[in-house]
Chain A
Amino acid sequence: MPLGLIMAKIFVDNIEYEVPDGKNLLEVCLSLGFNLTYFCWHPAMHSVGACRQCGVVNFKDENDKRGRLVMACMQAATNGIRISIEDPRAHAFRAGNIEALMLNHPHDCPVCDEGGECHLQDMTLMSGHNYRRNTFKKRTHYNQYLGPFINHEMNRCIQCYRCVRFYNDYAGGKDFAVFAAHDDVYFGRQEEGALENEFSGNLVEVCPTGVFTDKVLRKHYTRKWDLTSAPSVCHQCSLGCNILASERYGGIRRILTRYNGDVNGYFICDRGRFGYEYANSDKRIKQALKKSGNTLQHLSKDSALQEIKDFIFSGKNIIGIGSPRASLESNFMLKELVGENNFYGGIPKQESALISQAISILHQGKVKTPSLKEVESYDAVLILGEDITNTAPMLALAVRQAAKNKPREKAYALKIPHWDDAAVREIVQGEIGPVYLLTTHHTKLDEISTKSQYTTPDDIARAGFSIAQQINHSLPTVDTADDAMQAFVAAVARDLLNAKRPLVISGTSLFSSSVIQAAANIAYALKDSGKDAGLVYAVPEVNSTGMSMMASKDLDDAIARANEGGIDALIITENDLYYRIEKNKADDFLKNCGHVLVLENLQNETTAKADYVLPAGTFAESTGTVVNNEGRAQRFYQVYKPSNDICSSWEWLNEFRNSVSDTYAENFDAVVDEMVKRYPDLQKVKFAAPDANFRKGTQKIPRETARYSGRTAMLANINVSEPKPPVDKDSPLSFTMEGYQGIPPSADIPFFWSPGWNSVQSINRYQTEVGGSLHGGNPGVRLLEPSEENKSGYFDKIPERFTKKEGEWWIIPFYHIYGSDELSVKGPALAERIPSAYISMNEKDLNKNNLREGDKVTISFSGDKINVPVKEENTLPDGVAGLPKGFEGLTGVQFPFWGKITKV
């Protein structure tokens, strides 16, 4: 629905306003800055009219003195409409409604985790209700165990239905519901157990009060106003969702969604929200370490700098290994330090080639890659080979929204506005699509697929090339495996061509360049057919794209060079080689490299082998820029100054560069300046966020709220004098509560707060219009735009059909949102959700080998052996087995590979 094109004149308390047509009165009033109370309406889930909190009086015309009470959220802001928010009847109704909600809401704010950022508290104050007339007992409920992430306190529930609408309708959850009726309505699971949906953590933000709260925060609870927070970017996959990371007492306390109207909107996934605990791990390296015999000894910062200078930088041939989980600046500084020819990206050649290819297609090809938020606007989707629920979870959430677009046209044809959510749903009746999935096995998005087809990676690519051919007949024909696949290919081609905006999604997870190329061909063919097509590639890690834009050589090149000998020293920045490559290979490489210096967050096998280890900051202690799968460069800021020697890798490397070559970047901006000079493709990174000199007036932007408490007291056991707040020379943010109290630039929002609005609902005040972009535009800059002349061209290398091998399996990676990511698995809450390792194959293959589900098997491949139990997955093709990626004991495995599987 085209919105905002026509303007409507509305009257609020007799004052005329011009607002975009096609919206409801509530969103319009909030956008205009009015304090109008609401609960059930949510800017991403729209209106259902349940809570009745947004009552206003609606007048027929200027002569109508009586008017009638209407719910602002259910009323279109049509031209000429007259309403009053201030009418005494409206006031009395809204206060009365709060009174009704308070009948059963416990007065336990002081012990409630939501206290201080509770939408119900805010709305209660705003409504004017304050005196309690109820003399009866409150109803009580039993609470449920909902897993390690979410705490349940049903007594606080005000039955706004947001939770069930988010969990079931928006995120596709199936294990959560509303039970019972009248004032006994209950929101929870049929029986106790962990909430299964990957987005369950959003209940914390969606719930207007303290029913669903952050259980991980609860372990180290801090009130919102006592947190030191910074705008950050989630480091747990390649999508770069914007987050707010908060600290107290030197530890990260929680992650909240940082609204970005171009990326993640109002939500993040559970890996992103609860996967931060590694930053607080007792395995963190907090001081410089030096190998001494078989152990590592602590070293002061100064002696570390001196010793490392003497020991490492005295060598002539020094090479550096970067990392896809380190910032652009850290990779760049390493490259500067060791020199162009001695810098290697931190991933194996195969993966590196895939990412480079994806980048090249998005940059040299003719199809635009949409932002994560834009994905929601496509009306037909094809997913090629990627299990996005597990590799890029928020992309799956976006696809679930896109799947609703086409069926919703029926509602719009009946003149039902898009925001009338319940009505739209009634008309749509659960219809979805078209969404087509072509994957190796059953994935969760099958729930919403029009049709899913399962086959081997090579055959996925072949089917993809065939779809492209059916769209653009000038391409070479490709025969598909069978009639079913042929019919699938024809249906996909037809529905993509029928759509206005077809979207193709693929990624690197199958380690198949053919799949990536096939996806590009489909997108190109659609574009050539005049479609407004989109193409999305999911890549493995937070800065896979950024690092690849900088690295011309990869880990395998480094290994080859080390094999030749002559390497004096190796510097590894935020990279565990044992996670990337097989153990023997990593052992040999480290042996071949002379001295080894590792900059790292957590102790791992690589740091155990290093001569020197320096404490590198995670997202929590660093400032940097990362580039997501879309090619969007985004800035993340240091959350707090640790009391130890942890700092950004680029800062350590900057120090060494200073001592080695007498070049010193004064601060973060100086690093960025150097970098963009060297890499014109990264030119725009400079504009990802304001530089450190930015001031509002003369003020910096405080990371702490105005109500921050304990600045002196929290360290009084050490020193009763208030310490000088740390200085941040790298950003316009300060580490204090003093500074600019208004709305900061969109990239520099450390927390959402507005007078009267203490909860996350205050986001409304940071947007140009509710649900729209942040004031000043959404943060981040896009580095990859398609080329007009399509330098890429169609791909024509079509792989052969997959052929089985007798006695061996083609073992492909299976991904898990909890388990397949390197760092998040180190946090205890998330670790609880990691399934145990397994290998999957279909029933036929199991029977053929006399195996039953649960049997222990040994997988033998190129000299390695892994023992895991076997699991049945009947959608897997014959001769193909799935093994979880990144699980403990399975790191370093190079997928895909041929392996023998024998019963133990």
Chain B
Amino acid sequence: MERPLTEHIKNDGSVLSLKEYEAAGGYQALRKALKMTPQEVMQMVKDSNLRGRGGAGFPTGMKWSFVPMGDHAPHPKYIVANGDEMEPGTFKDRVLLEGNPHQLIEGMIISAYAIQADISYIFLRWAYHEAAKRVKNAIQEAYGAGYLGKKIAGSDYSVEMHLHTSVGRYMCGEETALLNALEGKRANPRSKPPFPQVSGLFGKPTIVNNVETFSNIAHIIDKGVEWYKALSKSPDGGGTKLYGVSGHVKKPAIWELPLGVSLRELIEEHAGGMMDGYKFRAALPGGASTDFLTEEHLDVAMDFTNTMKAGSRMGTGTVIVLDDKTCPVGMVFNLEKFFAQESCGWCTPCREGLPWTAKILDAIEHGRGMMNQLDILSFETVYMAPGNTFCALAPGAMEPLQSALKYFREDFERHIKEHKCPWD
């Protein structure tokens, strides 16, 4: 099984240097791309069926195709790597950032070339101090080797790259809020249209992609579309995917696997099954803002379409497992507290609805709940449905809650009837 994204990441946790990266074939794809036209590069990415790895799964090549091209296109154009990985349970980008930053940088340069961007940014989560150090160093190495700056790698193309370490808001993972933060403004989401491809950073055409998405690009260019598509088990999109499992499993970790492996395979094979004495109850398949899937969904393929069919989303592909010894109400309370805290405060449902939800869950979890509060919680999941809020934060926050109310209603009721958490 091929693992292009992680195969060169060292087991000792140290970073792949430029030399090591080049020795492994690094920056050959860039040289190849620079000999192609930007349109050809973009077409390859389109054909590869690469879909965004940040959670929404939007086809990457199509996203790029909205960028104005040609002599009259506005400049500077920007390309931004979204490395603000703050989704609870998600730590896949960290592996790529710390282990192989040049893979990201090369992917970004090729992507920049494809849309003829002039400036690129890596927007990094504040807590990723080690990644920041390594990325910064890698950018310097890339500048030193002539892969960044003026007329890169002997071509006529120039592109700059900067690392921006954020101050730590989950909200910055939303691409337009990220752009606001990068401009030095409040990290509130922007209204769309205009889409960033047309008017993004500082009002100029901008592409924002996830770290993992960019990390795929060099491989697509290097080994071709057919090879890339064949990596996937799913008709949903090409390539491999970084999957992770956390919770009370034997071996919580991150693995690079073909897109579309089943939830069962992830948990039972790769994560080694449940820890002794724990039984699987449910899982959030793609991070904190996805709906619970239960035992009946274990054979669902972890791709965009099938997880949706099962009533959830693939999200970031990092599974959080709920077992029988952990209180589901406590878990959801913990998540909602996080989301309430991370609301930017722009729109009413999110700003007011999430804290109320969290307070109610707090009350229920700690034995102070009332039955009518379950109705309120149900109402909140409708109130904060997609489209009702300004961005996807609150609807995402409602996904674990609405599925918890569906699958664990009895547990909620027991908390209220018994005036305590049955797991305490």
Are chains A and B native binding partners rather than an unrelated pairing?
yes
Report whether B343 and A181 are in contact in the complex, using a CB–CB cutoff of 8 Å.
yes
The answer to whether A104 touches B343, judged by C-beta atoms less than 8 angstroms apart, is: no
Docked-complex contact B347 and A49, CB < 8 angstroms? yes
Q: Is the CB of A183 within 8 A of B345?
A: yes
B198 CB-CB contact with A under 8 Å: yes
- The answer to whether A49 and B203 touch (CB under 8 A), given A104-B352, A183-B352, A422-B190, is no
B202, A180: Cβ atoms closer than 8 Å: no
Q: Which of B140-187 contact A (CB under 8 A)?
A: 169, 171, 186
**B347, A184: Cβ atoms under 8 Å?**
no
Residues in chain A near residue B190, CB distance under 8 A: 422-423, 426
Q: B342 at the A/B interface (Cβ < 8 Å)?
A: yes
Report A97 CB to chain B, min CB distance, Å.
5
Chain A interface bracket (under 10, 10 to 19, 20 to 34, 35 or more) = 35 or more
CB of A70 closer than 8 Å to a CB of B: yes
Nearest-neighbor residue (CB-CB) of B380 within chain A: A96
Residues of A within 8 A of B11 (CB): none
CB distance from B176 to the nearest CB of A (A): 8
- B193 and A96 form a contact (CB under 8 A): no
Nearest-neighbor residue (CB-CB) of B345 within chain A: A185
Q: Which residues of A contact B370 (CB under 8 A)?
A: 135
Interchain CB contact (< 8 A) of A180 among B199, B345, B348, B383: B345
B277 within 8 A of A: no
Tell me whether B420 is interfacial, beta carbon within 8 Å: no
Q: Which A residues are CB-close (under 8 A) to B194?
A: 411, 414, 416, 423, 426-427
Stretch at the interface among A11-19, A50-58, A608-616, A780-788: A50-58
Known A50-B347, A100-B356; contact A183-B340, beta-carbon cutoff 8 A: yes
B346 interfacial by beta-carbon distance below 8 Å: yes
Of A53, A136, A429, the contact of B348 (CB 8 Å cutoff): A53
Q: Determine how close the nearest CB of chain B comes to the CB of A115; give it in whole angstroms.
A: 22
Give the CA-CA distance A102 to B63 in the complex, in Å: 40
Most chain A beta-carbon contacts within 10 A, residue among B186, B345, B385, B387: B345
Residues of chain A lying within 8 A (CB to CB) of residue B198: 414
Q: A74-B191, A96-B383 are in contact. Are A69 and B351 (CB under 8 A)?
A: no
Residue from B340, B348, B379 in contact with A159 in the complex, judged by beta carbons closer than 8 Å: B348
Q: Is the CB of A159 within 8 A of B345?
A: yes
Contact of A52 among B191, B202, B348, B356 (CB under 8 A): B348
Residues A185 and B376 in contact, CB atoms below 8 Å apart: no
Chain A window 110-154, contacts with chain B (Cβ cutoff 8 Å), 1 for yes, 0 for no = 000000000000000000000001111000000000000000000
B349 interface residue, CB < 8 Å from A? Answer: yes
Are A414 and B199 neighbours in the complex by a CB distance under 8 Å? Answer: yes
Tell me how far the C-beta of B156 lies from the nearest C-beta in chain A, rounded to whole angstroms: 29
Whether the pair A427, B199 counts as a contact (CB closer than 8 A) is yes
Q: Do residues B340 and A182 form an inter-chain contact, with CB atoms below 8 A?
A: yes
In chain B, positions 182-211 with a C-beta closer than 8 Å to chain A are 186, 190-194, 198-199, 202-203
Within 8 Å of chain B (Cβ to Cβ): is A454? no
Bound CA–CA A93/B202 (angstroms):
35
Residue pair A181, B345 in contact (C-beta under 8 Å): yes
Known: A159-B345, A423-B194, A426-B194. A182 touches B356 (CB 8 A): no
Contact B383 A178 (CB under 8 A): no
B355 within 8 A of A: yes
Answer whether residue B389 sits at the interface, using C-beta atoms and an 8 A cutoff: yes
A50-B348, A429-B202 known; 20 new pairs, CB 8 Å cut-off, are A49-B191, A50-B346, A50-B390, A52-B347, A52-B390, A68-B387, A92-B379, A96-B379, A101-B352, A178-B186, A180-B345, A181-B342, A181-B343, A183-B352, A414-B199, A415-B193, A423-B193, A427-B199, A427-B203, A429-B203
Complex A-B, nearest 10 residue pairs according to Cβ-Cβ distance, in ascending order: A100-B352, A185-B345, A429-B203, A182-B343, A96-B383, A183-B355, A427-B199, A181-B345, A422-B191, A136-B359
Give me the interface of B with A, judged by CB distance under 8 Å: 169, 171, 186, 190-194, 198-199, 202-203, 340-349, 351-356, 359, 363, 370, 372, 376, 379, 382-383, 385, 387-390
Chain A contacts to B: CB under 8 angstroms:
48-53, 55, 68-70, 74, 92-93, 96-97, 100-101, 103-104, 133-136, 158-159, 161, 178, 180-185, 410-411, 414-416, 420, 422-423, 426-429
